[in-house]
Amino acid sequence: MEADRKNSQEKKAFDSAESNTTTFQTTEAKLYPSESRTSSYEKPPETEGFFKKLVNDFRPAPPTDRPDGVGLKRKLNNRHMQMISIGGAIGSGLYVGSGSSLADGGAASLVINYSLIGIMMFFTIYALGEMSVAYPIAGGFNTYAFRFIDPAWGFSLSWNYFINYFVTFPLELTTCAITFRFWSDINSAAWISIFLVAVIIINLLGVRAYGEVEFILSFIKVIATIGFIILAIIIDCGGVPTDHRGYIGGSIIRRNAFRHGFKGFCSVFVTAAFSFSGTEVIGLAAAETDDPKRTLPKSVRQIFWRIALFYSVSLLMIGLLISPEDSRLMGNQSGTSTSPFVLAIQEANIKGLPSVFNAVIIVSVISVTNTSTYTAGRTLHGMATLKHAPRVFLYTDRLGRPLFAMLVVLAFGFFAYINEANTKGNDISDTVFNWLLALTGLSNFFCWASICLSHIIFRIAFKKQGHTLDELAFVSPMGVWGSCIGFGFNILCLIAQFYVSLFPVGGKPNASDFFQGYLAAVVALIFFVGYKIYDRRCIPPLSQLDLNTGFHSAEFYNNYDEDHPRKERSKLAKVWSSCC
């Protein structure tokens, strides 16, 4: 009897432990099912060798219960998302593109317009953050446009956004090669090959490698920008002995604060908007974030302040140090000689530092190239989940790589070698790239406007279907009105782009300039109308919009938090987290 009683107690204890384990696994599976499942793919045999494992990693991902039904891995953590969010916006648009903006509109237009676009992004990113936490699914904001606005517009937006980064990839590879001409005139094909191989390797290593590379490159950009701001203040105050100008103060910025009148102001407005391209990438990365509830809000809150600091303050210093009349600002925008940051250091006759900052520009271009491949590949994969692209692009291997979508994007990088066609005064590559970029010249505005409009419709439908904001894990503090303001700003950007395309700065109206600036609108309209004819579904009323598929409520996240308690952070870590 005593033995039976002991065996009965042991069985109850075992059943209880097994029940607790099952409960834990079930809760984990509810949030991130694909990461909690076990399979022969995810846990290969111990005897599997390196080369066999390398080959097996390309096998299809195991079946997944994720709400979006895809095999992407949640490998990006908080620090990755922090740097991806800020690094996506700090690049050649700031370091190089601001030079032509300064020449076109003057220092005052430069600072005012970049600040205005920063405010627009403030509203847009918060709206994106709210939806990304509620729906951390493949395709991101393209999926939101498909679901909340109109399937036809979602189709048009997705393809326009994909082509934007698809074309940007080889263009940025060419820019990387041209940047090295600051030191020596080595054949561009050699540098293109080096950077192309590096980007291919990074992408083949998986999303974790992408996050680590972006973390390092973005950290370098942040430190370099802060260092430049400090140096620029010293130069302006006359603290550099090698600068023959001595104390500068506001003497330069007072001359030609505004140039080319209203037309110049509008041109800077458009260029400033393009400079913020990439900020929205965190919406795509949400599907591969390990903890969307904690990571995304933190990234959203900090991105505005960091960008506002880096853009507004650094460009103000550029306006204090470089005259808009400097002829070097209007050179070839692909060359680093037109970077106002490099010119500001050169004007102060500081030896060595121009080369250092030129290296930073190379880092920023590599970062943009890396982001372009990631964004284009994930967008194409997301379109396949919506049946907007061939189903072959749904394929993900066991490391979570959307393999075929990624390979198509990487293969287009070889298009950069067309740069070698520029011989004997022939500018074939420039012409080709200009018209390729014209296909997607407005994709940023379409994207940001769609994010704001999707958020407005989502909020209205959410309320109409009887839901409350308490069900959302993260709520945009500006609400619907913030998205309305952001949407209005994007409409103004489209109007400004139309005006500048029709009446280019320093030129007369002509068909070439107009279509290079506004061809993307025609392409988007063709995609929209074509899909509308193919799929004649009517837009469902707000009361019938699908708000459930892939929805992660506050309670949903709380259940996960209870089973995954976080370690108490030190006071130093809390201070660092609040500031960075």
Question: Using 50, 70 and 90 to split pLDDT, how confident is the model at 36?
Answer: very low
Residues 430, 340: Cα–Cα separation, whole Å: 23
CA angle 136, 141, 146 (to 5 degrees): 110
- 133-154 pLDDT, tens digit per residue, is 888 776 677 888 888 998 899 8
Whether 361 contacts 92, CB under 8 Å: yes
- 88 closest CA partner among 361, 230, 358, 280: 280
Region 264-284: mean pLDDT is: 77
Residues 123, 116: Cα–Cα separation, whole Å: 11
Whether 33 contacts 64, CB under 8 Å: yes
Q: Which of 32-41, 90-99, 114-123: highest mean pLDDT?
A: 114-123
Q: Which of 205-209, 301-305, 528-532: highest mean pLDDT?
A: 528-532
Cβ-based burial of 83 (10 A; exposed 0-12, middle 13-18, buried ≥19): buried
pLDDT exceeds cutoff 60 at 20: no
Structure-token pair, residue 182: 């600051």
Q: Which of 299-308, 423-432, 473-482: highest mean pLDDT?
A: 473-482
Whether 265 contacts 105, CB under 8 Å: yes
Question: Using 50, 70 and 90 to split pLDDT, how confident is the model at 21?
Answer: very low
Domains, the chain, with CATH or none: 68-579 (1.20.1740.10)
pLDDT score recorded for residue 468 = 87
Question: Using 50, 70 and 90 to split pLDDT, how confident is the model at 188?
Answer: confident
Structure-token pair, residue 377: 């590949």
Residues 163, 380: Cα–Cα separation, whole Å: 9
| Per-residue DSSP letter, 60 | B
C-alpha distances (whole Å) from 396 to each of 34, 216, 403, 476 are: 12, 26, 6, 33
- 337-349 pLDDT, tens digit per residue, is 478 888 888 888 8
pLDDT score recorded for residue 10 = 47
pLDDT score recorded for residue 459 = 93
Q: Which of 168-182, 200-214, 371-385, 477-491: highest mean pLDDT?
A: 477-491
Residues 342, 13: Cα–Cα separation, whole Å: 70
Whether 347 contacts 328, CB under 8 Å: no
- 405-452 pLDDT, tens digit per residue, is 888 989 888 888 877 666 555 566 567 767 777 777 788 888 999 999
Low-confidence winner among 270-279, 549-558, 568-577 (lowest mean pLDDT): 568-577
Question: Using 50, 70 and 90 to split pLDDT, how confident is the model at 69?
Answer: very low
Structure-token pair, residue 386: 């919506």
Residues 523, 578: Cα–Cα separation, whole Å: 44
Region 63-89: mean pLDDT is: 59
Region 458-464: mean pLDDT is: 91
Looking at the chain, the whole-number percentage of residues with pLDDT higher than 70 is 73
| Per-residue DSSP letter, 90 | S
What would you report as the CA-atom Rg of the chain, rounded to the nearest whole angstrom? 26
pLDDT score recorded for residue 31 = 42
| Per-residue DSSP letter, 286 | G
Quote the mean pLDDT of the chain.
Answer: 76
Q: Which residues of 378-413 are buried (b: 16+ CB within 10 A; e: fewer)?
A: bbbbbbbbbebbeeebbbbbbbbbbbbbbbbbbeeb
Residues 343, 338: Cα–Cα separation, whole Å: 7
pLDDT exceeds cutoff 50 at 16: no
Residues 320, 247: Cα–Cα separation, whole Å: 11
Region 540-555: mean pLDDT is: 82
- 362-384 pLDDT, tens digit per residue, is 888 888 888 888 888 888 888 88
Give the pTM.
Answer: 0.80
Cβ-based burial of 555 (10 A; exposed 0-12, middle 13-18, buried ≥19): exposed
CA angle 120, 125, 130 (to 5 degrees): 135
Q: Where are the beta strands (DSSP E) in 337-470?
A: none
Sign of CA dihedral 337, 225, 316, 449: positive
- 554-566 pLDDT, tens digit per residue, is 777 776 555 555 5
* Choice between 483 and 306, residue whose per-residue pLDDT is larger: 483
* Helices 511-534, 443-464: crossing angle, 10 deg rounding: 40
pLDDT exceeds cutoff 60 at 244: yes
What is the identity of the amino acid at 462? Answer: F
* Choice between 535 and 66, residue whose per-residue pLDDT is larger: 535
pLDDT exceeds cutoff 90 at 487: yes
Bridge partners (DSSP) of residue 230 are: none
pLDDT score recorded for residue 205 = 80
pLDDT score recorded for residue 454 = 93
* Choice between 561 and 27, residue whose per-residue pLDDT is larger: 561
Residue 194 φ/ψ region, left for φ over 0, alpha for ψ in the -120 to 50 degree band, beta for the rest: alpha
